[in-house]
């Protein structure tokens, strides 16, 4: 008989639609408990105020959480114009920054200036480290640390609605982008003195979106068998990488940590390119990297007993 204390060796990916007011870590722990899973991790933190896609990985899938850390992300956000926040969102201390006088020309110019490769200064309320401590620990004490601008890429930025002094935007951006910092910059370029985020939803990470995702409330009300059926295959995390299939001999070599050679791959891929590797039965072996002359070096592999 399965009890609450039983830890199960299960592997897969749950596409969680996180609600507001809960940390990513707390959401992860609840999902882990509901599946009685022995091992779990997630692919990228959402602030408590933020909602949306939080892929939660179980078992062997935890080996590949880093595969999405550098992936592009898409968000929808509501910005309050003419005000700034100490945290960049509605949880901070709010102060007036300027008057709001929007025109189509101003909006088009702001989008143009903030699209493409731009420099962004990370906010103080962030998990970036300074002398081994997250910046937010300094910010909470009123200490401001100098942050160097970092290059990010805004692939797409659109205004989808305007409601008095608030605007709704969609953003597709590179890893490392802070929407709170983008919001403040957007407000400045619009001539409002700044802006802060009142709501934020993550719609997609890499090739994964909110389709077939579940809220914790829905997940809680399922039977254990139904919850487990909601898990996606491990290679869901690797969909943005090209796939390579190898024969039985090469499969065994890779699983033993050996490099295999296939000179035909040199014409298809660049040296250093990451790939997902399958055996000839289309079972995922793990993550590989193209080395010299088309050889494949194993990087992260699924344990043989889990296959």
Residues acting as catalytic residues: 47
Give the residues across from 244 on adjacent strands.
277
Which residues, at least 6 apart from 50, have a Cβ–Cβ distance to it below 8 Å?
18, 20, 200, 201, 202
Per DSSP, the residues of 148-205 read: --EEEEEEEEEEEEEETTEEEEEEEE-TT--HHHHHHHHHHHTTSS-EEEEEEEEEEE
Dihedral of alpha carbons 145, 149, 151, 154, sign: positive
Query: How many C-beta atoms surround the C-beta of residue 66 within 10 A?
Result: 14
**Cβ atoms of 200 and 89 closer than 8 Å:** yes
Give the residues across from 37 on adjacent strands.
8
**Cβ atoms of 96 and 83 closer than 8 Å:** yes
Give the residues across from 55 on adjacent strands.
15
Q: How far is CA 269 from the centre of its chain?
A: 25
The two tokens of residue 154 are: 């805004």
* 94-96 and 83-85 strand pairing: antiparallel
CA–CA distances in Å: residue 230 to residues 62, 213, 215, 283, 307: 17, 9, 12, 19, 19
Give the residues across from 8 on adjacent strands.
37
C-alpha radius of gyration, the chain, whole number:
22
């Amino acid at each position: 008989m399965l009890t609450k204390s039983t830890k199960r060796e299960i592997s897969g990916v749950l596409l969680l639609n996180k609600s507001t007011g809960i940390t990513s870590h707390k959401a992860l722990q609840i999902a882990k408990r509901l599946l009685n899973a022995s091992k779990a991790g997630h692919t990228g933190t959402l602030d408590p105020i933020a909602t949306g896609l939080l892929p939660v990985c179980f078992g062997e899938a935890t080996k590949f959480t880093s595969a999405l850390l550098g992936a592009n992300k898409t968000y929808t956000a509501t910005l309050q114009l003419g005000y700034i926040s100490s945290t960049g969102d509605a949880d901070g201390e709010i102060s007036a920054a300027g008057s709001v006088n929007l025109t189509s020309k101003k909006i088009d110019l702001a989008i143009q200036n903030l699209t493409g490769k731009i420099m962004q200064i990370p906010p103080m309320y962030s998990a970036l480290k300074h002398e081994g401590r997250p910046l937010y620990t300094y910010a909470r004490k009123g200490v401001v640390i100098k942050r160097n601008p970092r290059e990010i890429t805004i692939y797409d930025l659109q205004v989808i609605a305007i409601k008095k002094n608030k605007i709704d935007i969609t953003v597709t951006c590179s890893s490392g982008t802070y929407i709170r910092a983008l919001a403040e910059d957007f407000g400045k370029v619009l001539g409002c003195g700044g802006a802060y985020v009142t709501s934020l939803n993550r719609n997609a990470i890499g090739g994964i979106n909110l389709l077939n995702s579940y809220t914790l409330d829905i997940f809680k009300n399922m039977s254990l068998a139904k919850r487990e059926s909601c898990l996606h295959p491990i290679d869901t995390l690797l969909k943005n990488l090209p796939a390579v299939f190898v024969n039985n001999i090469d499969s065994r070599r890779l699983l033993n940590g050996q490099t295999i050679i296939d000179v035909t791959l040199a014409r298809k891929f660049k040296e250093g390119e990451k790939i997902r590797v399958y055996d000839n039965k289309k079972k995922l072996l793990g993550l590989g990297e193209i080395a010299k002359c088309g050889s494949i070096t194993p990087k992260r592999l699924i344990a043989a007993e889990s296959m």
